[in-house]
């Protein structure tokens, strides 16, 4: 399939499609100046991005929605050109909380539907307004989850027209099988968003997902911002890798462009986060070069099977 800056959607198993690159929007809420997210989304849309990855938990969905609506009002894009992915947080997995959570996201965005809605993590926290519930000793307050019941509530949201496609995130193959083998399954998950880059290439999960027509969406495709409060910084910085730098010199591309190209060339969607105008533009310039099969294998061989994002919850 020939991918270009203007045409880079790939098919989803439910008949919809997803742009192979999206803008990631997670940034530490307290230290990020107001409007930075909105400005970045507007720059991204002007650059040619048509896919924005967000979440209720990021606390900036209202800015994402404002930016998308402004670009629609300006006539720069139509709603159907934009692909927004939202996420169901772990305090909302009880079936009766699913639709209200999605409705809250739609209210934040001031949009009528999201294109993709995914279970953010295959575990539940104690339901309630506290999104990171802990007891008086600082221990996480978990909650029993029934992922199949959550999934059925999501299917009802799709039937109600609130979401076009349903997916998951941080699921391993057993958790995916739980949904795929659910009696009476109406809609299969179309995607699984997981950490994925040359140091964590996900060979087994990728194979499993390809077999089941599930698209992998790579989060932290650049190796994260290396914030030690949530990143395993003992893994060396991806963008400093000597071999990837050599490839960058060969193709006259930055290492960020090299690692993003690697994933899209094997059909993996990438959602690099940047709130820097130059880097937002840089990350999109990945459609004008390609690796040889041997180079793809050489990049795959960099896999260390170590995550930056350990999700220690």
The residues carrying an active-site annotation are 58
Q: What is the DSSP letter of 92?
A: G
CA distance 249 to 56: 39
| Residue 155 vs 195, nearer CB to ligand A2P | 195
CA distance 273 to 305: 22
User: 3-state class of 283 per DSSP?
Assistant: helix
| Residue 150 vs 202, nearer CB to ligand A2P | 202
| Residue 42 vs 92, nearer CB to ligand A2P | 42
- CB of residue 24 to ligand A2P, shortest distance in Å: 5
How many residues belong to the chain?
A: 313
Contact 18, 215 (CB under 8 A): yes
Residue ranges that bind ligand A2P, judged by CB under 6 A: 24, 220-225, 239, 254, 256, 272-276, 279, 282-283
- CB of residue 177 to ligand A2P, shortest distance in Å: 28
Contact 276, 36 (CB under 8 A): no
CA distance 77 to 46: 9
CA distance 41 to 201: 28
* 2 in a known ligand binding site: no
CA distance 280 to 274: 6
How far is residue 50 from each of residues 125, 220, 250, 252, 271, measured CA to CA in Å? Answer: 32, 19, 29, 25, 11
Residue carrying structure tokens 């003992």? 234
CA distance 157 to 98: 8
- CB of residue 248 to ligand A2P, shortest distance in Å: 11
**Closest residue (Cβ) to ligand A2P?**
225
| Residue 108 vs 224, nearer CB to ligand A2P | 224
- CB of residue 166 to ligand A2P, shortest distance in Å: 24
Helices then strands, counting H and E runs in the chain, come out as 10, 12
The token pair at 188 is 């299969």
| Residue 16 vs 36, nearer CB to ligand A2P | 36
Binding residues for substrate: 143
């Amino acid at each position: 399939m020939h991918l270009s800056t203007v045409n880079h959607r790939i098919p989803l198993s439910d008949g919809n499609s997803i742009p192979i690159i999206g803008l990631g929007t997670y940034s530490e809420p307290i230290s990020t100046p107001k409007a930075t997210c909105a400005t970045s989304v507007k720059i991204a849309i002007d650059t040619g991005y048509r896919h924005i990855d967000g979440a209720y938990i990021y606390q900036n969905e209202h800015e994402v929605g404002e930016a998308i609506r402004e670009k629609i009002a300006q006539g720069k894009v139509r709603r159907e050109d934009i692909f927004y992915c939202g996420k169901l947080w772990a305090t909302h997995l009880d079936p009766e909380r699913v639709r209200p959570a999605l409705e809250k996201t739609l209210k934040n965005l001031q949009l009528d539907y999201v294109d993709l809605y995914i279970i953010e993590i295959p575990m539940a926290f104690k339901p309630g307004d506290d999104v990171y519930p802990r007891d008086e000793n600082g221990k996480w307050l978990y909650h029993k989850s029934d992922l199949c019941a959550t999934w059925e509530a999501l299917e009802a949201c799709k039937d109600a027209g609130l979401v076009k496609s349903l997916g998951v995130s941080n699921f391993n193959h057993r958790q995916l099988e739980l949904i795929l083998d659910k009696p009476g399954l109406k809609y299969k998950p179309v995607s699984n968003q997981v950490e994925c880059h040359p140091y964590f290439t996900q060979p087994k999960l990728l194979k499993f997902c390809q077999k089941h027509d599930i698209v992998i969406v790579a989060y932290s495709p650049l190796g994260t911002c290396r914030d030690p409060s949530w990143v395993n910084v003992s893994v060396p910085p991806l963008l400093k890798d000597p071999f990837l730098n050599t490839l960058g010199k060969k193709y006259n591309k930055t290492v960020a462009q090299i690692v993003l190209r690697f994933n899209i060339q094997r059909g993996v969607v990438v959602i690099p986060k940047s709130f820097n105008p130059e880097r937002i533009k840089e990350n999109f310039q990945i459609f004008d070069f390609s690796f040889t099969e041997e180079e793809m294998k050489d990049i795959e061989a960099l896999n260390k099977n170590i995550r930056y994002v350990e999700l220690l919850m």
